[in-house]
Amino acid sequence: MSFKYLICLDFEATCWSYDWKENAEIIEFGAILLNVNSGTIEDRFHHYVRPIRYPQLSEYCINLTGITQSMVDCQPTFSTIYSYFIDWLRMLQNTKGLQFTSSARARISDGPNTTFCSWSNWDLSFYFRNDCARNHIICQPLFKAWIDVRQLFNQIYMAFINRNLRFSYALEIASIRTVGSPHSAISDAINLAKLAMHLINRGVRFNAITNYY
């Protein structure tokens, strides 16, 4: 038995040509609800976010993500987008009967039928966690457990095992027909869902979380 739903998410964050990751703030928030049984996307969440610590985007960031200054200047800050996301998840809980995993309830045998998934652990364990701390938001338990799709990808593509394997390269290896442009959070969330279904169809089980804190 596997999770009935996966919430595939991706964030884009402020960045610079030099390594200054500790100052990164989320500037685009993308998530989709994937029905694992049907392989269909049933809902999506997408917002741009106005950074507050370093509000001016670097040229490097603009060129990498395609997110311009005007696209974030008029947007709410992270704390507001976080509340929107909570509202979206509550709506899904009410309409789809979602039950989330947590660090204490890691397997579907315990009752949950959904969890988050991302490519690597950066999105939830670093970007999201840091922005919550920066905005004095106490992370709910449901955000502390997820599946790292990169780990499951390596179960099938053993020859390409690399803890730093790029998402774009994995999509190419799996011959995924991508949508949107690279480094677009909502496009990457959709492409992650496609990759997850590709792995599921190859026999990979999405039945337990791989990471939590």
Residue type, 207: N
pLDDT of 67-97, one tens digit each? 999 999 999 999 999 999 999 999 999 999 9
The answer to whether 178 touches 171, Cβ cutoff 8 Å, is yes
Q: What is the CB-side half-sphere exposure of residue 184 using CA atoms within 13 A?
A: 13
Every domain of the chain and the residues it spans: 5-212
Per-residue model confidence as pLDDT tens digits over 145-156: 999 999 999 888
Catalytic residue among 25, 28, 183, 198: 183
- Concerning whether 12 is annotated as a catalytic residue, the answer is yes
Neighbours of 135 (CB within 10 A): 14
Lowest mean pLDDT among 104-108, 172-176, 199-203: 104-108
Contacts (Cβ under 8 Å, ≥6 apart) of 71: 48
198 is annotated as an active-site residue: no
Q: What superfamily would CATH give domain 5-212? A: Ribonuclease H-like superfamily/Ribonuclease H (3.30.420.10)
